[in-house]
Amino acid sequence: MRSCAVACIFLLAMTSISHGRTFSRFAQSGVSRGMHTYHSFKADCTGKGGVVKVLVKPKHGTIRHFTVTSNPYSLNHPCYRIEMEGTSTPGYRGSDSFKLEVSFPNQPAVVDEFFVDVK
């Protein structure tokens, strides 16, 4: 009975977080670059907002996110999305990485990892 309860709790925890993706990006030192765009998954684009949690910060730069409600495909139909942008420390050359958890209401959270090659 106890093992069944533990298994149920484990399965519930696993369904709340979706396995994410790994992204490889190139960036110029000290220059801001778009890293990824997260969209609302509803077909009508009506999103109620999302949450971004930085799980691992970049060691050699900064990341920021901002929300956008415009839709490049329809001026009459706004679509909620979150844009991620990263900027390396000016003069830094090499590799960096960071990890994010992104969630939208009524959808499982996604954990994505980014690897950035800074030139």
Whole-model pTM: value is 0.74
Question: Facing residues of 84 across strands?
Answer: 36, 65
Give the CATH number, domain containing residue 45: 2.60.40
Q: How do 33-39 and 61-68 pair as beta strands? A: unpaired
- If we measure between CA atoms, which residue out of 82, 104, 102, 105 comes closest to residue 20? 102
Say how far residue 48 (Cα) sits from the centre of its chain.
Answer: 16
Q: pLDDT at residue 14 above 50? A: no
Total of domains in the chain: 1
> Which pLDDT tens digit goes with each residue over 35-57?
998 876 566 666 667 889 999 99
Domain hosting 40: range is: 2-118
